[in-house]
């Protein structure tokens, strides 16, 4: 199909690395920055609270018809949360974590102070930051620089009992290395994304101790649909007015 007047391609995701090989020369690629912030942040907070407060254990006890209190489950409040990938979604997650009285810092390609006042560290410093983080949230795209970022060395640097939350891309985590930590009972995990994905039936992650798995649903909901439609309308109007494409990433 020939589209000689094509100016821009709008994709529905914040991540865009998967679309780059298909973009014709001279055509802008635009992502859905801002569309998924709220929904993904809600899921990151939900997964964090569910793991911290032991909800899987309580749901299991309810299913078995048993009253099994666990009064010493860790709180989110006063925890140190490290958000790896402090862009617009990372900032939305940070807002919700701070509302629960957690201490939040970010990690990105370079160090800075984010517009919301959060201290953001350079990714090169991450191994030195992990020992102090009780909760690590991954919300990075997947590319060569983030492939298996959370590898055995990364996970080993996290303190005993820490929680890894992944709402970014599954391949950012080394699944085998994570399974080893979960089976040892040293770390916990709450995963919206996995590698492989979809996760095959009976995959070891499903019954790994201390692990919550949900099927990549953080960004999908009616709220997301409405906001994506609004973005497409803005995109069309911007192009009609001769302005640059909205959310251009390439």
pLDDT level of residue 223 (50, 70, 90 thresholds): confident
Q: What is d(CA 126, CA 18) in angstroms, rounded to the nearest whole number?
A: 26
Task: Check whether 54 has a pLDDT greater than 90.
Answer: yes
Q: What is d(CA 4, CA 15) in angstroms, rounded to the nearest whole number?
A: 26
Angle between helix 37-52 and helix 55-63 axes, rounded to 10 deg? 70
96 Cβ neighbours under 8 A, 6+ residues apart? 41, 42, 44, 45
Mean pLDDT of the residues in the chain: 95
Task: Check whether 234 has a pLDDT greater than 70.
Answer: yes
Condensed to tens digits (0 to 9), the pLDDT of residues 128-172 reads: 999 999 999 999 989 999 999 999 999 999 999 999 999 999 999
Condensed to tens digits (0 to 9), the pLDDT of residues 1-42 reads: 678 889 999 999 888 888 999 999 999 999 999 999 999 999
> For the chain, which domains are there?
8-35+222-240 (no CATH), 37-213 (3.40.50.720)
What residues are annotated to the active site?
Answer: 169, 197, 216
Q: Pick from 189, 173, 150, 170: which is nearest to 51 by CA?
A: 189
Task: Check whether 221 has a pLDDT greater than 80.
Answer: no
């Amino acid at each position: 199909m020939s589209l000689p007047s094509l100016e821009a391609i709008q994709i529905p995701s914040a991540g865009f690395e998967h679309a780059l090989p298909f973009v014709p020369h001279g055509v802008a690629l635009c992502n859905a920055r801002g569309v998924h912030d709220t929904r993904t942040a809600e899921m990151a907070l939900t997964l964090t609270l569910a793991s911290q407060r032991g909800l899987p254990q309580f749901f299991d006890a309810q299913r078995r018809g048993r009253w099994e209190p666990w009064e010493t489950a860790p709180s989110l409040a006063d925890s140190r949360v490290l958000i790896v990938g402090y862009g617009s979604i990372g900032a939305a997650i940070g807002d919700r974590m701070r509302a629960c009285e957690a201490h939040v810092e970010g990690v990105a390609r370079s160090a800075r102070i984010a517009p919301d006042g959060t201290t953001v560290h350079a990714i090169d410093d991450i191994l030195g930051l992990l020992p102090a983080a009780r909760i690590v949230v991954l919300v990075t795209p997947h590319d060569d620089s983030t492939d298996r970022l959370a590898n055995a060395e990364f996970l080993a640097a996290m303190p005993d009992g820490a929680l890894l939350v992944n709402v970014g891309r599954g391949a950012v985590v080394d699944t085998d290395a994570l399974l080893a930590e979960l089976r040892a009972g040293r770390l916990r995990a709450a995963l919206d994304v996995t590698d492989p994905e979809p996760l095959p039936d009976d995959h070891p992650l499903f019954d790994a101790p201390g692990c919550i798995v949900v099927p990549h649903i953080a960004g999908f909901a009616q709220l997301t649909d409405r906001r994506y439609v609004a973005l497409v309308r803005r995109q069309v109007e911007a192009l009609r007015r001769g302005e640059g494409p909205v959310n251009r990433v390439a």
